[in-house]
Chain A
Amino acid sequence: MRHQVRVNVVSALTFLVFFVVFVVPFALVINNAVKDRQESAKLDLSMPTSFHLLENLQEVFAARDYMLVTAMINSTILTVTSVAAMVVVAAMVGFVLQRRSSRVNGLVNAMVLMGLIVPPAVVPTIWVLQSLGLFKTLPGLILIEITYGLAFCVLLFRAFVSTVPRELDEAAIIDGCGPLRLFFQVILPLLKPTVVTVIVVQSVAVFNDFVHPLYFLPGDENATVQLTLYNFLSQYSTQWNLLFMDILLITIPPLLVFLFFNRQIVAGMTSGAVKG
């Protein structure tokens, strides 16, 4: 009897924490996104007295010559391309590092660690990009995102490749498999749990990245979604209703992705075992 009560208290507490941490902020965003400017300036949870959903929506989209549309396209290209490249490159590096021990391994490991430790410097990076003709271009920013994310991904993949039995490689090679086919058709499918983890972690990081697009991709035609927040938020004056509407709009795409791929993501993260 007492045990039963304690369990109920714990689950009630969990629910309460969930409510406070996730639901309240989201309610604040939605609530303020439909208010007019005067009401939203109070920044409270009171119900709106008049609804301005469509006006706010239209104003947010139209701001700065439909910058949000450009930003959505840019952010999608940026996230998809850089995460795809991170997965393929990091998996390859992890595979080779783990399978083939040679003298350069120590050096490569040191470089990967340095990639995690050494802080990025903005101005020299811009000089490099300018000399390559990549500054202010989306490919330039994609390369930067790949660089900053790669070290972490390599660490994840290297650790996971060691759980894939070497016998599988040998069997495939005996059956006449070339190195590329071995990697793409035998090893990569077995790395699915790590691939899913990397995709989730890095796409959130890249999509939500604010600082790199701000410095490496200046200009209105190059905006990413996080930069559009600055259309409504400034040092002395903030249009809270439009800001919250913008937050709502740019939270929706990742939310949809997570809703649709929820099952694959959870399955990928939990199924670690090698099958067959």
Chain B
Amino acid sequence: MFMNRRSFLGASAAAASVIAITGCSRGGGGGGGVTFLIDNDPSAVAGAEALTEAFNSSQEEYTFSVDTRPGGTEGDNLVKTRLSTQDMPDVFVYNSGSLFQAIRPTQNLTDLSDQPWVSRLQESFVPAVSAEDKVYGAPYGGASAGGIMYHRPTYEKLGLEIPRTWDDFIANCQAAHAEGVTGIIQSFGDTWTSQLLVLGDFHNVAANNPDFAEQYTAHQIGFATDPNALRGFEHTAEVCSSDFINEDYVSATYQQAIGYVAAGEGAHYPILSSAVAEIAASTPDLVEDLGFFAIPGEDAAKNGLTIWLPSGMYVPAFAENPDAALAFIEFVTSQEGLDILAAEAPPTGPYMVTDVDLPAEVPTATKDLQVYFDTEGATTPALEFLSPIKGPNLENILIELGTGSIDAKTAAQNYDKDVEKQAQQLGLEGW
């Protein structure tokens, strides 16, 4: 039983095409090529491309290229997969704080404690990229903040002042509502935006109890049992049941919400300061109409800003070109590197390197943040940078709360239960 000629020809043609494909897909890499992995945010990609280009022309030895990954949960999975299969590019950007702790830094990353830029870091940033007293990451770009973005022309027209207490804030919302402007915008269509009134309130919690983060990690205190921490949940319930919230708050998306504030249809929107960069990109002529203030608390004297630390740059423990990676990181933390980055990706807040200042031409809303940074004790990193615990379901619980399915106390209790699982997975004491 032998093959006839035609089927033999067919089989060899198929074999040849497989070989041809194998031949095509080789190439890439080789020489002094190093890859820099960053998330796929358009301004982040533009910044990374400008940085690698400048670095490539500043030295001869290595050629950096940019590779992208998705953000969010998909990105978390991808980073963990690539680390555990030892396939991570030599420099990569990933969140600092609790997500950084989740990628097992002591096992997967190179210790950077002896690098020259470590001494120039802001004190508040160091714990967010450290594990077992060793520094594993360098700051990538500027910090951002969680607070309330407001429409400045509305404030001028109504003669309002920036509120320092929650009661003043509610009064401002009502004043705007009386003039036909929506008092406060919420956008549960993008679930992550529901968390700002709780997470962004952390400075006010920490101002009343500076040890909150430690006690929280040790399971001595919770959101339901601490009246100050519970206030964030109560605020969410209060604004969502008020008559001055936008009618479509359950379904509105982040994009729509920032559109409402930029156009002056809404007076306030609790959000991250990175929204300013988004508005600067989508509606550049409206960006100067926006301002930013911290979420008001009970005590005007203690009011301050909750900040989100920038992502870190890390080098995997199995990096192929660690020297190139370290040189690149040093470049990105220098004045020159940060200026190049700022030209492509406008900073959303102050830098985490002490001797580099923000460029002069940033939007007003970003300058509003600098005031808090310049005041002693007026900024606190968000809880997720001070404690490894952050429950995955906070946004869902807050949406239940915001739509009136449960009350504030129950929501806080549910969240305390949600973080329990995570704390046990991390093997923390006291859980």
Point out residues on A near B: beta carbons under 8 Å.
Answer: 37-38, 41-43, 64, 77, 81, 122-123, 126-127, 130, 135-139, 142, 178-181, 184, 214-215, 218-222, 230-240
Cβ-neighbour of B25 out of A42, A139, A230, A233 (below 8 A): A139
**When A122-B81, A126-B81, A138-B24 are in contact, do A218 and B67 touch as well, CB less than 8 Å?**
yes
- Do the beta carbons of B81 and A235 come within 8 Å of each other? no
State in angstroms the CA–CA spacing of A232 and B7 once bound together.
47
- Do the beta carbons of B22 and A64 come within 8 Å of each other? no
A44 CB to nearest chain B CB (Å): 10
- In chain B, what residue has the closest Cβ to A139? B22
- Do the beta carbons of B24 and A219 come within 8 Å of each other? no
Residues of A contacting B421 in the complex (Cβ-Cβ under 8 angstroms): none
**When A139-B25, A220-B67 are in contact, do A234 and B41 touch as well, CB less than 8 Å?**
yes
Residues of A contacting B272 in the complex (Cβ-Cβ under 8 angstroms): 236
Is B74 an interface residue, CB under 8 A from the partner? yes
Point out residues on B near A: beta carbons under 8 Å.
Answer: 1-4, 7, 10, 17-18, 21-22, 24-26, 28, 35, 39-45, 65-72, 74-75, 78, 81-82, 84-85, 87, 192, 253-256, 259, 272, 274-275, 277-278, 281-283
- Do the beta carbons of B259 and A42 come within 8 Å of each other? yes
State in angstroms the CA–CA spacing of A130 and B81 once bound together.
13
Residues of B contacting A221 in the complex (Cβ-Cβ under 8 angstroms): 28
- Do the beta carbons of A64 and B68 come within 8 Å of each other? yes
- In chain A, what residue has the closest Cβ to B3? A180
Cβ-neighbour of B7 out of A77, A137, A180, A239 (below 8 A): A180
Having A123-B81, A235-B75, one finds 20 other A-B pairs with CB under 8 Å, namely: A37-B282, A38-B282, A41-B282, A42-B259, A43-B256, A123-B85, A178-B1, A178-B2, A178-B3, A180-B3, A184-B7, A214-B74, A221-B28, A222-B25, A230-B40, A231-B42, A234-B39, A234-B40, A235-B41, A240-B255
- In chain B, what residue has the closest Cβ to A184? B7
State in angstroms the CA–CA spacing of A137 and B17 once bound together.
15
State in angstroms the CA–CA spacing of A181 and B87 once bound together.
45
- In chain B, what residue has the closest Cβ to A67? B68
Q: Taking chain B's interface residues, is the majority helix, strand, or loop, or is none over half, making it mixed?
A: helix
**When A42-B259, A64-B45 are in contact, do A235 and B71 touch as well, CB less than 8 Å?**
yes
- Do the beta carbons of A139 and B21 come within 8 Å of each other? yes
State in angstroms the CA–CA spacing of A232 and B45 once bound together.
11
- Do the beta carbons of B85 and A236 come within 8 Å of each other? no
Among all A-B residue pairs, the 8 with the closest Cβ atoms: A235-B71, A234-B41, A138-B25, A126-B85, A178-B1, A137-B25, A234-B40, A230-B40
State in angstroms the CA–CA spacing of A235 and B75 once bound together.
10
Residues of B contacting A236 in the complex (Cβ-Cβ under 8 angstroms): 41, 71, 254, 272, 274-275, 278
Residues of B contacting A122 in the complex (Cβ-Cβ under 8 angstroms): 81
Cβ-neighbour of B40 out of A135, A231, A240 (below 8 A): A231
A-B contact pairs, 28 of them (CB 8 A): A37-B282, A42-B256, A42-B259, A43-B256, A122-B81, A123-B85, A138-B21, A139-B22, A142-B21, A184-B10, A214-B70, A214-B74, A219-B35, A220-B65, A220-B66, A230-B68, A231-B40, A233-B40, A234-B39, A234-B70, A234-B71, A235-B41, A236-B41, A236-B274, A236-B275, A237-B43, A237-B281, A239-B42
Residues of A contacting B44 in the complex (Cβ-Cβ under 8 angstroms): 234
Q: Taking chain A's interface residues, is the majority helix, strand, or loop, or is none over half, making it mixed?
A: helix
- Do the beta carbons of B2 and A214 come within 8 Å of each other? no
Cβ-neighbour of B72 out of A38, A81, A126, A235 (below 8 A): A235
B340 CB to nearest chain A CB (Å): 19
- Do the beta carbons of A130 and B85 come within 8 Å of each other? yes
Cβ-neighbour of B255 out of A41, A130, A178 (below 8 A): A41
- Do the beta carbons of B41 and A179 come within 8 Å of each other? no
A233 CB to nearest chain B CB (Å): 8
Residues of A contacting B255 in the complex (Cβ-Cβ under 8 angstroms): 41, 43, 238, 240
- In chain A, what residue has the closest Cβ to B258? A41
State in angstroms the CA–CA spacing of A122 and B81 once bound together.
8
State in angstroms the CA–CA spacing of A142 and B192 once bound together.
36
Residues of B contacting A142 in the complex (Cβ-Cβ under 8 angstroms): 21
State in angstroms the CA–CA spacing of A43 and B248 once bound together.
15
Residues of A contacting B82 in the complex (Cβ-Cβ under 8 angstroms): 218
Cβ-neighbour of A219 out of B28, B85, B259, B282 (below 8 A): B28
State in angstroms the CA–CA spacing of A230 and B72 once bound together.
12
State in angstroms the CA–CA spacing of A231 and B44 once bound together.
11
B278 CB to nearest chain A CB (Å): 5
State in angstroms the CA–CA spacing of A184 and B10 once bound together.
11
State in angstroms the CA–CA spacing of A231 and B7 once bound together.
44
- In chain B, what residue has the closest Cβ to A36? B282
Residues of B contacting A219 in the complex (Cβ-Cβ under 8 angstroms): 28, 35, 67
B189 CB to nearest chain A CB (Å): 10
Residues of A contacting B22 in the complex (Cβ-Cβ under 8 angstroms): 137, 139
State in angstroms the CA–CA spacing of A239 and B84 once bound together.
32
Cβ-neighbour of A139 out of B4, B18, B43, B275 (below 8 A): B18
